[in-house]
Chains A and B, each alone.
Chain A
Amino acid sequence: MRNLGFRELAHPADLALQVRGRDLSSLFLNAAQGLLHLLHASAAEPVGEPNDVELSLQAGDLETLMVDWLGEILYLTEREGRCWQVQSVGVERPASLRAHVRCAGDRRPQRAIKAVTYAGLSIVESAAGFETVIVFDA
């Protein structure tokens, strides 16, 4: 699956994504979309009421914020056994995030991801926006 916001990279042992965004909020949104792609979410089936969670995170730097953000999504996925969609996410400098995520529909992860790593993690800003590579322990 090719998405302008993220691209799966080959990694010898684990999983990796290259993620881009025109601004920090887009970067974090696309990272979450990339994670959903890596989880190989099954086709959605309708269920009852959606489950909404508001997230508010703060970190010492943007890279740690990214690890925390994706780690929260992994935790929620494991807890519910279902995948989550980002309804909205806003990132502010120096490193804080507010997001609304929703678990609606019965999309189950088909692959387990143990953790988000700091391996080579660096959020780089250029004229085109922001870019990073994220490695996951699978």
Chain B
Amino acid sequence: MVTKHDLQRKSPWEWELPSSFRSDMRVPARIYMSEPLLEAALGDKALEQLVNTATLPGIVQHALAMPDMHQGYGFPIGGVVATALPDGVISPGGVGYDINCGVRLLRTGIAAEALLPHMDSLMTALYENIASGVGASGALRLSKAQLEGVLHQGAAWAIAEGLGVAEDLVCTEDNGRLDDADAGALSSRAKERGLTQLGTLGSGNHFLEIDRVDDVYNTAIAETYGIRAGEAVVWIHCGSRGLGHQVCTDAVRQMQSAVGKYGIEIPDRELVCAPFSSREAQAYYRAMCAAANYAWANRQVITHLVRQTFERELPASLRSMPLAVVYDVCHNIAKVEEHAVGGKRQRLCVHRKGATRAFGPSRPEVPAPYRHAGQPVLIPGNMQAGSYVLAGTDFALDATFGSTCHGAGRTLSRHAARRRVRGSDLKARLESERILVRAGSLSGLAEEAPVAYKDVDDVVEVTHESGLATRVVRTMPLGVIKG
């Protein structure tokens, strides 16, 4: 068990656990947290899980913990691990079951105050038009051929179907598509599950929110991103749905035998892995890319549905521009990226499990309009405290392979949250604060209560002060949809 005495403090925001802590650690662990956040993290198994990730073959530099880290399974949530190619491992547990769970932010060009009189009908219409909730099927029923298109082309498939504009892809991580996708690497069951769920939100911690831009911390970057104080913006948080879950389930099962085959010892079966160049790893990686593409197509279809709903519900006088994508990030993914390690450029497999890419101005992957500012980093908080937009930094490239937190991180189990909070009381309290709620399940709402999450202000403060990303704006909820 890790205690605070085992950690060396490197700065007010950085802690290191030396590799001597446990004999099977290949690298040290580095944790980006304030002291209070660290003390909270010591209360669950997150740090032990971080130590476990430090044993993965091919890992370089550090096993990393982001400011919102908490216990997961295999990897901690908020964990980042990079392995050296070609023979460092890839681990499905380092991505998670919801492949490319991520966040998209839309700007509306509409003043939040002007939107308020329409919020009730707008929220109802969004809730009706965008399927959410347990096992929801969407309006789109894909043929097998169409699904193949989605898996290979990602968000571009939706654009080609008239469900968006080309500019949407520019402002999406990897232009909404990983080229290494291979639909043939998916099981028939994974594909079956994907046929009916495109354009659906899901449930649990997935949501769609209309927020108001409340605080602008960096006017220049906010202007670059096109975000203005007082503007209404739309947050979309969802992933690859049942298709992605099945891809991970299949891979975790298939790799159980791979670890023995390649002589890999793992301290946790959820850390199953295989050398990146191996048949098993490539099968998973290519299926993961396809599932990631499905998630981007999903968020693109939902964007289209949001645009349609705004057009139908709002008078033309309010709509000066179509809703525009600010950015779209993934926070459960493994990417092949080139980074400097020990002064040399190296190709790495960067696992971000509950962590967000945060590339600074020097990276060509940052869209041209944003290049001088850095990539937008989208950090949802909770349905009461709001969310943040930050900008990636070149410091993060050196420190964390260009990574940062993904949200606020849970502090309460779902079980404890349900016992502490009544969904109906929470809904009433939010609505008394003029936050409209549309939720498919009140117990599900209770599980997502603000009290169940860390204080997003604390998490973002560490992110900003440590230099991993720069605070740009904060948004506050006006309306929340949860499945």
Number of residues from A at the complex interface, CB < 8 A: 36
A119–B268 Cα distance when bound, in Å, is 7
Q: Is the CB of B203 within 8 A of A111?
A: yes
How far is the CB of A51 from the nearest CB of chain B, in Å? 16
A87-129 CB contacts (< 8 Å) to partner B: 108-112, 114-121
- Most A Cβ at <10 Å: residue of B96, B203, B413: B413
* Residue interface bits B133-145, CB-to-A below 8 A is 1, else 0: 0110000000000
A111–B189 Cα distance when bound, in Å, is 21
A-B contact count (CB 8 A): 103
Taking CB atoms, residues of chain A closer than 8 Å to B395 are: none
Q: Is the CB of A118 within 8 A of B135?
A: no
A135–B413 Cα distance when bound, in Å, is 12
Q: Is the CB of A115 within 8 A of B97?
A: yes
Q: Is the CB of B256 within 8 A of A110?
A: no
B63-96 CB contacts (< 8 Å) to partner A: 70-74, 77, 96
A15–B410 Cα distance when bound, in Å, is 13
* Residue A68 interfacial (CB < 8 Å): yes
Number of residues from B at the complex interface, CB < 8 A: 43
Q: Is the CB of A111 within 8 A of B71?
A: no
* Residue A33 interfacial (CB < 8 Å): no
How far is the CB of B385 from the nearest CB of chain A, in Å? 19
Q: Is the CB of A118 within 8 A of B269?
A: yes
* Residue B252 interfacial (CB < 8 Å): yes
Q: Is the CB of A67 within 8 A of B253?
A: yes
How far is the CB of B429 from the nearest CB of chain A, in Å? 22
Q: Is the CB of B269 within 8 A of A111?
A: no
Known: A60-B256, A67-B253, A110-B441. A121 touches B416 (CB 8 A): no
* Residue A78 interfacial (CB < 8 Å): yes
Known: A10-B413, A110-B134, A137-B73. A78 touches B249 (CB 8 A): no
* Residue A81 interfacial (CB < 8 Å): yes
Taking CB atoms, residues of chain B closer than 8 Å to A15 are: 414-415
The residue that A119 contacts in the complex, of B73, B189, B443, B444, with Cβ under 8 A, is B73
Known: A10-B416, A77-B135, A112-B135. A40 touches B204 (CB 8 A): no
- Most B Cβ at <10 Å: residue of A75, A108, A111, A114: A114
* Residue A23 interfacial (CB < 8 Å): no
Q: Is the CB of A12 within 8 A of B70?
A: yes
Residue of A nearest to B70 (CB): A12
* Residue B24 interfacial (CB < 8 Å): no
* Residue B257 interfacial (CB < 8 Å): yes
Q: Is the CB of A119 within 8 A of B204?
A: no
* Residue B270 interfacial (CB < 8 Å): yes
How far is the CB of A107 from the nearest CB of chain B, in Å? 12
A12–B203 Cα distance when bound, in Å, is 18
Taking CB atoms, residues of chain B closer than 8 Å to A67 are: 253
Taking CB atoms, residues of chain B closer than 8 Å to A114 are: 97-98, 204, 245
Known: A14-B414, A115-B245. A137 touches B96 (CB 8 A): yes
Taking CB atoms, residues of chain A closer than 8 Å to B74 are: 117, 119
The residue that B415 contacts in the complex, of A8, A40, A60, A117, with Cβ under 8 A, is A8
How far is the CB of B422 from the nearest CB of chain A, in Å? 15
Known: A13-B70, A110-B134, A118-B252. A40 touches B443 (CB 8 A): yes
Q: What residues make up the interface of B, taking CB atoms closer than 8 Å to A?
A: 44, 46, 70-74, 77, 96-98, 134-135, 189, 192-193, 202-204, 242, 245-246, 248-249, 252-253, 256-257, 268-270, 272, 410-416, 441, 443-444, 483
Q: What residues make up the interface of A, taking CB atoms closer than 8 Å to B?
A: 8-15, 40, 60, 63-64, 67-68, 71, 75, 77-79, 81, 108-112, 114-121, 135, 137-138
Known: A75-B189, A137-B96. 17 other contacts (CB 8 A): A9-B415, A11-B71, A12-B44, A12-B46, A12-B412, A12-B413, A13-B72, A14-B73, A78-B135, A109-B135, A110-B443, A111-B134, A115-B249, A118-B269, A118-B272, A119-B73, A119-B268
A sample of 28 inter-chain contacts (CB < 8 A) reads A10-B413, A10-B416, A11-B415, A12-B413, A13-B70, A13-B72, A13-B77, A14-B72, A14-B414, A64-B253, A75-B189, A77-B135, A110-B443, A111-B203, A111-B204, A111-B443, A116-B249, A117-B74, A117-B270, A118-B269, A119-B73, A119-B269, A119-B270, A120-B73, A135-B73, A137-B73, A137-B96, A138-B414
Shortest beta-carbon contacts, A-B, top 6 = A119-B73, A118-B269, A10-B413, A12-B71, A115-B97, A114-B245
